[in-house]
Amino acid sequence: MSGTRSRKRMTMFTFFLLVVVVLVVALWQYHQMVVSIYDGATASMYRRMLRPFSDQHDSLGQRPVRIALLGGVGSGGEPEATEGLIRQWQQVLLKQGFAVRRIVTLRSPSELRDMNLLVLPGGANLSDNDIAIIKDFVAQGNGVIMSWAAGTRDQNGEWRDPRLLRHVAGIELDQSSADHETDSCMTVVFDARSPLTTGIEPGHVLSLTRFDRPLTSRVIEPRTRVAGVCLQHSEVAWVARDAQRSDQSLRERAAIVHGDYLAGRFVWMGFTIASGAPAPEQQAVFQQVIRNAVLWTTRQPMVMKPNWPEAVDSAFTLAWRIKRAEDADDRLPTLARAYRIRLTSYVTPEILQENEEFVRSLATAGPVGLLLSGDLSQPAGAPP
């Protein structure tokens, strides 16, 4: 009798121990899943968790990110420069954990089989057949990231009608910047509401190198949203004078756009992978934009995860808005500088015109933003 009870107790103990082990493993997997969601890359985690039951999609309907990088001899520009851009794309994407396959030519749609994102480096030469394959690829629900003047030359390197950018991205290149008749875009200001700026400080300014001749574009279709606009230092006064029409005017200065093309998604950046300024903080933001572009075009979950500096225990953010001349008081910037407080100020175009020296003093205490009415990523007269 006692032996029977001992076996029952042992069986119950074993069962209880097994339940505890299963719960611990399940909690650990849940913890890993949450971490992956916050990092914006869930596909690999779900495939590891549900491998026996998974097919080409994971448990949330997300496909693994499989990137095709178009680039071969004759992809545009100088061969050595073009090869350098392709290698930089490969390095950036591989460093961030994405699977990348280089495609030399687009002879047929089968070249993009099992891919869900196509990257066109700046200056990629495209034939009529190439453009047709790309448009069909995106229309089927896939994504494309285009940079600089992709598709504006044919397979022989001759200038052609930029139909790819116009049809897929809904933009027209600024001809003056394309012909180098005006100063190239040197500063890109982000729109904080865009998915491409997830994890980037609102109003952040991205500095670009001059030698790559970054381009700007004019948005011609409502489906195209602006994620970043190009503003030269000489254009600040223009923005102030033209504040009433700035919404539409800024859509004519687009440096980064994104949107839908039939069932797929696109991103266009008016600069190359090599255009980011060499400063470490600028490079971090530059690569974050590229990562966001990949995640968004492939429909991956995106959640902002702020990066907290390890050497800082706490932070205090102070912001004020200057709408009238009497709001301009230099005592607050002086106090902020004395205690090393990073002061973020927002001024109206009128204040910028009337108190330029004061605005310059604000810039010594922290970022200065321009208060503009309306939605910068919507055309004038469009519903919100």
Question: What is d(CA 52, CA 89) in angstroms, rounded to the nearest whole number?
Answer: 33
Q: Rounded to whole angstroms, how far apart are CA atoms 204 and 182?
A: 24
Residue 173 identity (one-letter amino acid): L
**What phi and psi values does residue 13 have, to the nearest 5 degrees?**
-65, -45
pLDDT tens track, the chain, 384 positions? 566 777 777 888 888 888 888 888 888 777 666 554 444 444 444 444 544 444 444 334 456 899 999 975 444 455 666 788 888 999 999 988 888 999 988 888 999 988 999 999 876 688 899 999 999 999 999 999 999 888 888 887 788 888 899 999 999 998 655 555 455 677 888 877 788 988 887 667 888 887 778 899 999 999 999 998 887 655 544 444 444 445 566 788 899 999 999 999 999 999 988 888 888 888 888 999 999 999 999 988 776 555 555 666 666 666 666 666 676 677 878 888 888 877 777 777 777 777 878 888 888 888 887 776 543 333 333 333
Query: Which pLDDT score, from 0 to 100, does residue 39 have?
Result: 42
At residue 315, the pLDDT reads 66
CA distance 351 to 372: 12
Measured distance CA(120)–CA(297) in Å, rounded: 13
Helix extents (H) in the chain: 2-39, 43-49, 79-95, 128-139, 163-164, 175-178, 236-241, 246-251, 280-297, 331-338, 349-354, 356-363
Q: What count of residues does the chain have?
A: 384
DSSP secondary structure of 44-71: HHHHHHTGGG--SS-TTSPPP-EEEEE-
Q: What's the pLDDT score for residue 142?
A: 95
Q: Is 244 helix (H, G, I), strand (E, B) or coil?
A: helix
The answer to whether the predicted template modeling score (pTM) of the entire model surpasses 0.85 is no
DSSP 283-324: HHHHHHHHHHHHHHHTT----------TT-S----EEEEE-S
What is the rounded distance in angstroms from the CA atom of residue 52 to the CA atom of residue 7?
35
